[in-house]
Amino acid sequence: MTDVPSIFASKVFNDETMQERLPKEAYDALKETIESGSPLDISVANIVANAMKDWAIEHGCTHYTHWFQPMTGVTAEKHDSFISPSGNGKVIMEFSGKELIKGEPDASSFPSGGIRATFEARGYTTWDPTSYAFIKGNTLCIPTAFMSYTGDILDKKTPLLRSMDRINQESIRILKLFNKDVKRVNATVGPEQEYFLIDKKIYDQRKDLKYTGRTLFGARPPKGQQLEDHYFGALKSRVADFMQELDEELWELGIYSKTEHNEVAPAQHELAPVFTTVNIAADHNQLTMEAMKRIALKHDMVCLLHEKPFAGVNGSGKHNNWSLSTNTGENLFKPGKKPEENTQFLLFLAAVIKGIDEYQDLLRLSVATAGNDHRLGGDEAPPAIISMFIGDDLQAVVDAIIEGTDYESHGKILMGTGAQVLPKIKRDTTDRNRTSPFAFTGNKFEFRSLGSALNISCPNIMLNTILAEELSQFSDILEKSSNFESDCRKLIRKTFKEHQRILFNGDGYTDEWVEEAKQRGLLNLKSTPEALSHYIVDKNLKLFEKQRIFTNREVYARYEILLENYINVVNIEALTMLDMAKKDILPSVSAFTAELANTIQAKAAVSANISTKAEVDLLERLSIMLEKFSETIDKLEENLIQAANYKDDIQKHAEFYCDYVLASMQDLRKISDEMEMSVSSKYWPYPSYGQMLFSIQ
């Protein structure tokens, strides 16, 4: 049995290790940097680097890398060894403060949205001392931010750190008004991660999974998730072994992997860590996804992180549980026993409500990817409409404040289970609403629209920035007030009143909600190109500039990178489909129909009395479908050619892919899936949905 406490964080250069290995002055100086963000002196950096190197070498490291998160969505690393020539043909192991603090990877191969011309290939990575260095294999990994030579940011970590500063400052400003002396407010996040595991041998036979991460063809299996027998079901031993190895690796990295269980769909699972400060949660989530993929392979499985690997089966998401906590241990979203009297909580709630209403588009676009478009609004994940669920009790508080009436609390109800041996449990005052994109869950908000593959930085940048903006507006008003309590109440009431349209406690999956949301004037940004077009609207540019998260140039760059990525993803999918359709599916169906024709002839040659009706019917049907299939291949090819006409306008280009290329892809799939249902499995060129989803025994 693994001794968890002894391995936990054994591969992390964390506070405990630093305290152990650094001289007191160096430790104090570094701690000051971590806690207050003050710049680090190079002499201290030298001492830290040396201690880190010694520690890493003791753990078998030969290399170090600046580990960063460029706009590709995956993490990047360039490995350098510690060796340095010592003059006599020998080497010594060295690592300087300068090497710790700054790296210069060639930036030209990372997306920059036109910010960095290739001739200015220089880019910098800089150490984020608030996220601990860690060991992966034989390499010391140093979490870093990434920017261009000109100082424009090219990664996901820097804006997240900036947004953390902003939410920190603005929360402290508000808390001062409540006479609270707080030094630091951190956004905390616990991301629940869903994923699929399938057998590697089966995976290898599917070009679509290999090239695009999702199945582009495939008829529904007779058994899907109808029986709901997979959710929380007993783990298969291969999966259990995988999870154990994963947990151990994550624990060594100091990641609080806590909950693992089967999910709703066959072959689907979930991992939830205990929450932590958001930039660390983001680093940890990237590491978790990376470890999942790597460790699955060791067990002859493939981990699929795509948002929708299988049509007709639930896709995978990520729930971003987000809250704010102070260095004094207070959770700012904790309503307490009497939320109706908790002015501070109500003010923060009002800021969230106003922020989500005013910046629905930013939340929506922060989760917009080609893959996630297949999930949102598909009756398995929240709709593309952003709304907020606060539960019946809190809603009643809000309503009472708006109406100016008294609120009567119902308290928690004691629930009996009917069985004497079981203890009575307190029922939560409100049931869960799984259909809401943004739900208050007791002392945190759960943003549920994230796709499983997403880097969680972007949605959290939005949440922190939006809230910082709203809090700053509140402070501007309240700092001038001579009657704080009364003015604060008035402000809360006014805010609830003006922004209550964003609150929705009903079923978000229904058509009625789509209609009602429209009446309320809420946005319904169905596709990624539509959502991304809001990145560059005036109010959002102003917000980012005012909160010093992105310059306008950086916003435009991000907008372009994300659209470009969308176009590339759909383009690769279309090309993969054409490859599969032309090289495998069409020839297979044709071969099967040839066999049918031969059988019909052979039977007829024996005797005219032998019925060939079944074969003839099937042959006729399949031949008609195959003709249509071939026509749709042509149509898709034509669309791809036409798409090139929009190359000069990236927004239109992406929209064309969304409206036309994807539509032909869907048509092509539909015919193929129909044919799959009628073609002998001996002839079908790919493993079926049934084989993929039930591949692990």
Residues that bind ligand ADP (CB under 6 A): 188-190, 192, 272-275, 319, 321-323, 331, 443-444
Which backbone phi and psi does 265 adopt, to 5 degrees?
-80, 155
Is the CB of 123 or the CB of 317 nearer to ligand ADP? 317
User: Which residue number is nearest to ligand ADP in terms of Cβ?
Assistant: 190
188 binds, among ligand ADP, Mg ion, none (CB under 5 to 8 A by kind): ligand ADP
Distance of closest approach, residue 340 Cβ to ligand ADP, in angstroms: 22
318 binds Mg ion (CB under 5 A): no
Distance of closest approach, residue 441 Cβ to Mg ion, in angstroms: 8
Q: DSSP assignment, residue 666?
A: H
Please identify, among the stretches 59-67, 85-93, 319-327, 466-474, the one whose residues bind Mg ion according to the rule CB under 5 A.
319-327
Which backbone phi and psi does 312 adopt, to 5 degrees?
80, 0
Q: Which x/- pattern over 176-195 shows residues binding Mg ion (rule: CB under 5 A)?
A: ----------------x---
Site for Mg ion in 379-408 (CB under 5 A): none
Please check whether residue 340 is in contact with residue 407, taking contact to mean a CB–CB distance below 8 angstroms: yes
Number of residues lying near Mg ion (CB under 5 A):
2
64 binds, among Mg ion, ligand ADP, none (CB under 5 to 8 A by kind): none
Distance of closest approach, residue 683 Cβ to ligand ADP, in angstroms: 44
Please check whether residue 387 is in contact with residue 519, taking contact to mean a CB–CB distance below 8 angstroms: no
Which backbone phi and psi does 156 adopt, to 5 degrees?
-105, -15
Q: DSSP assignment, residue 158?
A: H
Residues in the chain: 697
Is the CB of 2 or the CB of 259 nearer to ligand ADP? 259
User: Which residue number is nearest to Mg ion in terms of Cβ?
Assistant: 319
Tell me the chain's radius of gyration from C-alpha atoms: 28
Distance of closest approach, residue 131 Cβ to ligand ADP, in angstroms: 17
Distance CA 186, CA 278 (A): 8
Distance of closest approach, residue 68 Cβ to ligand ADP, in angstroms: 24
444 binds, among ligand ADP, Mg ion, none (CB under 5 to 8 A by kind): ligand ADP
Please check whether residue 204 is in contact with residue 686, taking contact to mean a CB–CB distance below 8 angstroms: no
Is the CB of 375 or the CB of 444 nearer to ligand ADP? 444
Please identify, among the stretches 126-134, 312-320, 351-359, 398-406, the one whose residues bind Mg ion according to the rule CB under 5 A.
312-320
Distance of closest approach, residue 278 Cβ to ligand ADP, in angstroms: 9
543 binds, among ligand ADP, Mg ion, none (CB under 5 to 8 A by kind): none
Nearest to 219 by CA among 313, 325, 105, 353: 313
Is the CB of 222 or the CB of 329 nearer to ligand ADP? 329
Is the CB of 74 or the CB of 274 nearer to ligand ADP? 274
Site for Mg ion in 87-146 (CB under 5 A): none
Is the CB of 97 or the CB of 273 nearer to ligand ADP? 273
Please identify, among the stretches 311-319, 358-366, 563-571, 651-659, the one whose residues bind Mg ion according to the rule CB under 5 A.
311-319
Is the CB of 113 or the CB of 190 nearer to ligand ADP? 190
List the beta bridge partners of residue 447: 320, 438
Distance CA 305, CA 307 (A): 6
Distance CA 296, CA 269 (A): 13
273 binds, among ligand ADP, Mg ion, none (CB under 5 to 8 A by kind): ligand ADP
Which backbone phi and psi does 185 adopt, to 5 degrees?
-120, 125
A 10 A CB-CB count for 90 gives: 8
Distance of closest approach, residue 262 Cβ to ligand ADP, in angstroms: 13
Please check whether residue 274 is in contact with residue 258, taking contact to mean a CB–CB distance below 8 angstroms: yes
Q: How far is C-alpha 453 from the geometric centre of its chain's CA atoms?
A: 5
Please check whether residue 676 is in contact with residue 219, taking contact to mean a CB–CB distance below 8 angstroms: yes
Site for Mg ion in 192-211 (CB under 5 A): 192
Is the CB of 231 or the CB of 484 nearer to ligand ADP? 231
Q: Which strand (E) or helix (H) includes residue 556?
A: helix 552-580
Is the CB of 84 or the CB of 327 nearer to ligand ADP? 327
Please check whether residue 540 is in contact with residue 555, taking contact to mean a CB–CB distance below 8 angstroms: yes
159 binds, among Mg ion, ligand ADP, none (CB under 5 to 8 A by kind): none
**Which residues does 346 contact at the CB level (< 8 Å), separation at least 6?**
339, 340, 397, 401, 492
362 binds, among ligand ADP, Mg ion, none (CB under 5 to 8 A by kind): none
Distance of closest approach, residue 201 Cβ to ligand ADP, in angstroms: 33
List the beta bridge partners of residue 102: 126
**Burial group, residue 385, by CB count within 10 angstroms (0-12, 13-18, 19+):** buried
Q: Which amino acid is at 432?
A: R
Is the CB of 331 or the CB of 590 nearer to ligand ADP? 331
Q: Which two tokens stand for residue 30?
A: 């570094």
Is the CB of 340 or the CB of 446 nearer to Mg ion? 446
- Choose, by CB under 5 A, the member of 63, 166, 318, 319 that binds Mg ion: 319
190 binds, among Mg ion, ligand ADP, none (CB under 5 to 8 A by kind): ligand ADP
Nearest to 495 by CA among 591, 358, 366, 607: 358
Distance of closest approach, residue 627 Cβ to ligand ADP, in angstroms: 49
Distance CA 90, CA 86 (A): 6
A 10 A CB-CB count for 664 gives: 20
Q: Which strand (E) or helix (H) includes residue 139?
A: strand 139-148
Is the CB of 447 or the CB of 592 nearer to Mg ion? 447
225 binds, among Mg ion, ligand ADP, none (CB under 5 to 8 A by kind): none
189 binds, among Mg ion, ligand ADP, none (CB under 5 to 8 A by kind): ligand ADP
Distance of closest approach, residue 448 Cβ to ligand ADP, in angstroms: 9
Distance CA 171, CA 467 (A): 9
Is the CB of 319 or the CB of 534 nearer to Mg ion? 319
Distance CA 194, CA 305 (A): 8
- Please give the residue ranges that form the binding site for Mg ion (CB under 5 A): 192, 319
